[in-house]
Amino acid sequence: NVVVEGDGKVRTAQCEFYIWRNNHIDRDFILLTSDWQPTTITGMNELSAYITDVLNELRVEMVVALAASPVSMPKRNPKVFLTATSEEVIKLLRSKDKNLVLLTDGVITGMNGLVPVLAKIFYGIEGAILLGEAAQRVDRWLAISKDPSASKALVESLNRIFDLHIDTSPLDEEIEKMFKLLHEIKERAVKRVEAVKKGEKREPEYIG
């Protein structure tokens, strides 16, 4: 797969590291983002292993992966679930963010789960996965970016855990846009149902 950019050019998919040096707290952050993840198990395993090698070379102390917990419809206040590579990490993160909900069963697919686990297995680096409740296919339904409510919930959780001060207000406009569009869709659906019901009740017209 390749990425088509706004100017019509194509490029290969990218996986990028960004280093955030923070003078306000006693740690720096390495952010990893990508266009998408490999579509095969072999590809996901190989890329995840490579990423853990890089994280070890950079002497990372903890890996935190952000993921989605699918729900049918967007929520105003989505939950954020937590799972981790050790009980100590679970206790630490829950002590920082009382709103975290412990994930006690299920399966996490893809590299969001692989990278923290492989980092622990290969290099002893502790890890955690935060999963925000996110509506699936909301981008296709409403022609907007991925569920912004889930994104905001995850960033706010990171703020509490690491004492960050990331401004989430830019997401508020996207959230309101999403719920406004949902409301309009529901209203149109109700009107269609009412119109159908009226049509069913209408008496047959007399033709002379």
The residue length of the chain stands at 208
Q: Which residues contact 124 (CB under 8 A, 6 or more apart)?
A: none
pLDDT at 139 over 70: no
Based on its alpha-carbon atoms, the radius of gyration of the chain, rounded to whole angstroms, reads 22
Three-state DSSP at 200 gives helix
Parallel, antiparallel or unpaired: strands 15-20 and 2-4: unpaired
- Residue identified by tokens 């266009």 is 35
Identify the weakest region by mean pLDDT among 8-17, 68-77, 119-128, 175-184.
175-184
Say whether pTM exceeds 0.85. no
How far apart CA 146 and CA 155 sit, in angstroms, is 14
The identity of residue 156, as a single letter, is: E
What pLDDT score was predicted for residue 208? 46
CATH architecture of the domain formed by 2-201:
3-Layer(aba) Sandwich (3.40)
Question: Would you say residue 110 has pLDDT above 80?
Answer: yes
Pairs from 143-151 (Cβ < 8 Å, separation ≥ 24): 144/174, 144/177, 144/178, 144/181, 145/174, 146/68, 147/68, 147/74, 147/78, 147/178, 148/174, 148/175, 148/178, 149/74, 149/75, 149/76, 149/77, 149/78, 149/175, 149/178, 150/68, 150/78
For residues 143-155, average pLDDT: 84
Q: For residues 31-51, give the mean pLDDT.
A: 93
Structure tokens at 138: 């909301």
